[in-house]
């Protein structure tokens, strides 16, 4: 069976990119189709045969917001006639590919397009931007509704995303959680911990992640906070950070292991679709301090592997950090929780969903 993978754009590193590498394990010969590819920003993608759209030759192609209106055309221009199965991994336009009836299309949905639906108010809070973008947003919403009808099957990365798919797209979906994997156990055990007393954030530095909220809280508490990741908000976040906040940029997995191993807890201040870093932290026996919403509700056992703050503001987070100091966490509980989201579990469930949908196609290859 010939398989292709499709992803919105290959120019960053985060949880979705880890998902693609997991799918590469399942389908090592699958090519990866995408709108644009930046080799310098996405060295992880070197394991793939990457196929790009016509946007790759456009100036400033990596600034996808410049070409949002062209994304539908970019993905509709790909030809998948030679493939038996196409898996789109997407939070935007990749689900809008066009396939013939004999080519099956599964969409592994990270979330319905955030800036059009669940995150619209956040992205367009500037009145002028909201007004002048209305024609483009209207067109993209119209196209997104058409695109969501194209996959033969939706698989959501969490119950949170399953609810959004039903709400915005009117489609049913199965839930298969992504696995949390960084290194093998021997490499983890042999890694030298960072000798410091600190909390940790591992995230892209973009507005909806609410990193500013955590920085303000830790500024006030005068506690050490180390931040792993880069993004468009990095400059503004550094401006508000006090002396106890350290920005580490992007790290290799080997470096990241050291920081996970040595931290007191992971801080997760935003509402996420799933939140792989929550499970990564628990796989190192570390608890999580998270906002009570989104995918965190599916991956943290309150009082046992982490603690929630109820309101998305500095005061609520500060109160919860203080409560965390009195919380007794057993690292084994964190390990056990992370084990529920293993690669083997993902492989079994994802393969099962394919078999249920396309038994005749797949069994021929067995």
Relative to beta strand 306-309, strand 153-156 is unpaired
Q: Which residues contact 282 (CB under 8 A, 6 or more apart)?
A: 180, 288, 299, 300, 305, 306, 334, 335, 337, 338
Output the pLDDT for position 361. 47
Strand, helix or coil at 178? coil
What is the CATH architecture of 185-339?
Answer: 3-Layer(aba) Sandwich (3.40)
Output the pLDDT for position 185. 46
Assign domain 3-179+343-363 to a CATH class.
Answer: alpha beta
Domain parsing of the chain, residue ranges: 3-179+343-363, 185-339
Residues of the chain with pLDDT under 70: 182-195, 358-366
The answer to whether the 3-179+343-363 and 185-339 domains have the same CATH topology is: yes
In the Cβ-directed half-sphere of 149, how many Cα atoms lie within 13 Å? 4
Output the pLDDT for position 15. 86
Chain centroid offset of residue 240 CA: 26
pLDDT in tens, 7-53: 999 999 888 999 999 999 999 999 999 999 999 999 999 999 999 99
Task: Report d(CA 156, CA 4) in Å as an integer.
Answer: 19
pTM for this one? 0.86
| Neighbour count for residue 129 (Cβ, 10 Å) | 11
Query: Token pair for residue 122?
Result: 């956040």
């Amino acid at each position: 069976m010939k398989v292709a993978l499709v992803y919105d754009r290959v120019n960053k590193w985060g949880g979705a990119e880890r998902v693609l590498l997991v799918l590469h394990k399942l389908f090592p010969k699958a090519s990866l189709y995408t709108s644009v590819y930046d080799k310098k920003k996405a060295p992880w993608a070197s394991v793939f045969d990457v196929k790009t759209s016509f946007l790759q030759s456009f100036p400033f192609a990596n600034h996808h917001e410049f070409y949002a209106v062209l994304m539908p055309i970019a993905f509709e221009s790909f030809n998948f006639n030679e493939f038996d199965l196409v898996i789109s991994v997407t939070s935007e336009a990749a689900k809008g590919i066009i396939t013939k009836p004999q080519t099956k299309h599964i969409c592994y949905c990270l979330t319905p397009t955030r800036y059009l639906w669940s995150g619209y108010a956040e992205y367009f809070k500037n009145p002028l931007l909201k007004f002048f973008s209305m024609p483009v947003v209207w067109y993209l919403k119209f196209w997104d509704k058409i695109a969501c009808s194209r996959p033969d099957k939706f698989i959501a990365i969490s119950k949170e995303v399953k609810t959004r798919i039903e709400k915005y797209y009117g489609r049913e979906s199965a839930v298969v959680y992504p696995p949390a994997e960084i290194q093998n156990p021997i490499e983890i055990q042999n890694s030298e911990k960072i000798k410091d007393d600190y909390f940790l954030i591992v995230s892209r530095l973009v507005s909806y992640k609410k990193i500013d909220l955590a920085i303000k809280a830790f500024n006030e508490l005068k506690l050490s906070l180390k931040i792993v990741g880069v993004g468009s908000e990095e400059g503004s976040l550094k401006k508000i950070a006090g002396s106890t906040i350290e920005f580490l940029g992007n790290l290799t997995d080997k470096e990241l292991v050291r920081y996970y191993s040595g931290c007191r807890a992971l801080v997760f201040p935003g509402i996420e679709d799933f939140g792989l870093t929550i499970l990564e932290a628990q796989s190192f026996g570390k608890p999580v301090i998270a906002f009570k919403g989104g995918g965190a509700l599916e991956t943290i056992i309150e009082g046992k592997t982490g603690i929630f703050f109820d309101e998305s503001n500095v005061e609520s987070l500060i109160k919860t950090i203080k409560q965390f100091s009195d919380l007794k966490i057993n690292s084994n509980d964190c390990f056990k929780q992370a084990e529920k989201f293993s690669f083997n579990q993902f492989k079994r469930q994802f393969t099962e969903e394919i078999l249920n949908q396309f038994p005749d196609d797949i069994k021929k290859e067995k």
